[in-house]
């Protein structure tokens, strides 16, 4: 298989697949790889626009950073529910519980983001079902 095709296939299977189960170690690694670019782009946009005030002098730089930030955010909107649904299935819960995480993270209630991150941490440390459950056999690629 061509290396680029192989990379894209693995990438799509890792982040955008909605079927099967996902172990805690693999979930932690994949969710970190989604959140890190999101946090970095938001921080960079904040620096460029608010701190350095480069918007008036270099409007194209701000536009470029915002396009990157939008792209990373759009990817996170798709990947996080897919990853979380697969992880929920590993612990024996329905994948629909992933939407609870999304609702909590997007809630306008002050401090709700903390509950969302605690839920992410819980998912990262909770052991999955040892044997097969109604969502399939245990993931064999978990470290």
From 95, 132, 100, 137, select the one nearest 115 (Cα to Cα): 100
Q: Phi/psi at 94 (nearest 5 deg)?
A: -70, 150
Written as six digits, the tokens of 121 are: 């941490």
Answer whether residue 83 shows pLDDT above 90.
Answer: yes
Average pLDDT over the chain, rounded to an integer: 87
From 128, 71, 72, 122, select the one nearest 101 (Cα to Cα): 122
What is the pLDDT at residue 75? 92
- What is the number of helices (H) and of strands (E) in the chain? 5, 0
Residue 141 pLDDT grade (very low, low, confident, very high; cuts 50, 70, 90): low
pLDDT tens digits, one per residue of 96-106: 888 888 888 78
From 114, 117, 122, select the one nearest 88 (Cα to Cα): 122
Quote the Cα angle for 10-86-95, to 5°.
Answer: 145
Kindly report the length of the chain. Answer: 143
What mean pLDDT comes out for the span 81-94?
92
What mean pLDDT comes out for the span 94-119?
85
CA dihedral 70, 72, 77, 81 (to 10 degrees): 180
Q: pTM for this structure?
A: 0.83
What mean pLDDT comes out for the span 71-79?
91
What is the pLDDT at residue 142? 61
pLDDT tens digits, one per residue of 9-54: 888 888 988 888 999 999 999 999 998 998 999 888 888 887 777 7
Contact 65, 45 (CB under 8 A): yes
């Amino acid at each position: 298989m061509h290396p680029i095709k192989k990379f894209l296939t693995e990438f799509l299977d890792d982040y955008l697949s909605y079927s099967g189960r996902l172990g805690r170690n693999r979930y932690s690694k994949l969710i970190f790889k989604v959140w890190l670019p999101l946090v970095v782009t938001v921080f960079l946009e904040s620096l460029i626009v608010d701190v350095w005030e480069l918007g008036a002098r270099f409007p194209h730089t701000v536009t470029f950073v915002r396009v990157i930030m939008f792209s990373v955010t759009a990817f996170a909107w798709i990947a996080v529910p897919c990853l979380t649904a697969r992880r929920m299935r590993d612990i024996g819960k329905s994948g629909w519980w992933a939407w609870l995480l999304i609702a909590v993270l997007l809630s306008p209630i002050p401090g709700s983001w903390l509950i969302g991150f605690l839920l992410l941490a819980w998912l990262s440390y909770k052991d999955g079902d040892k044997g097969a459950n109604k969502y399939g056999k245990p993931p064999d690629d978990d470290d």
